Amino acid sequence: MDASTEQALPLRPILVGLMGSGKSSIGKRLAAKLDLPLIDLDEYIVEKADRSIPEIFEQDGELAFRKMETEALCEVISKPAVIATGGGAVLSETNRRILQEHSPVIWLKASPEFLARRIEGDSNRPLIAEGDTLKKLQEQVEVRYPLYEACADFVLPRGDMKKKQVLQAILEFLGDWQARR
């Protein structure tokens, strides 16, 4: 594909990051600003399976969910939309390859402490449903941060940034990114 063909392709930003980093909420705002639909991969899977994520984990296991996640990503990746992946989407080598081939990928990077404050007690997150949320998030950081890094075209350290600031930083990146294409 030559550069002129690539420029004609619609913008398809993909948000990655740990659970609670704001992929869904920032994704909604970004989609509205770009006049694109938001495809929340977890919601897409729930709708398609007609079961909640905790139900899928309980009935079929995490491996089955991860397979559904890859199938869903393959189905939506080429659609003109903002895509918010699940936090564990990067665990699959296939998913990482797909993400790397379909830029721009934006990593909403946040500390485990920030995330724990946001998601403590959220029963819709089976990987942290019971036990020490902060400890589980710290364990996920060890595994997932290098994988997010490998896929990301832009790393946005969330810190205590307000959603409006996060959105502005992403829009500036996307403007620069499109200008370089």
- Rounded to the nearest 10°, the torsion over CA 93, 166, 79, 85 is 40
In a domain, 90, yes or no: yes
Enumerate the known binding-site residues for substrate: 42, 66, 87, 144
Name the average pLDDT for the chain. 87
Q: Would you state the pLDDT for residue 112?
A: 85
Enumerate the known binding-site residues: 20-25, 42, 66, 87, 125, 144
DSSP 17: -
Confidence of residue 10 (pLDDT cuts 50, 70, 90): low
Range of the domain at 27: 10-174
Q: Would you state the pLDDT for residue 160?
A: 77
We report the CATH number of the domain holding residue 151 as 3.40.50.300
Q: Would you state the pLDDT for residue 7?
A: 42
In a domain, 181, yes or no: no
Q: What letters, b where the CB count within 10 A reaches 16 and e where it falls short, cover 51-85?
A: eebeebbeeeeeeebbebbbebbeebbeeebbbbb
Please check the confidence at residue 148 and state whether its pLDDT lies above 70: yes
Task: Indicate the SS3 state at residue 40.
Answer: strand
Please check the confidence at residue 124 and state whether its pLDDT lies above 80: no
Enumerate the known binding-site residues for Mg(2+): 24
In a domain, 126, yes or no: yes
Q: Would you state the pLDDT for residue 2?
A: 38
Confidence of residue 44 (pLDDT cuts 50, 70, 90): very high
Q: Would you state the pLDDT for residue 120?
A: 61
Structural domain tally of the chain?
A: 1
Query: Cα 108 to chain center, whole Å?
Result: 8
pLDDT in tens, 45-82: 999 999 998 899 889 998 999 999 999 999 999 999 99
Q: Would you state the pLDDT for residue 179?
A: 87
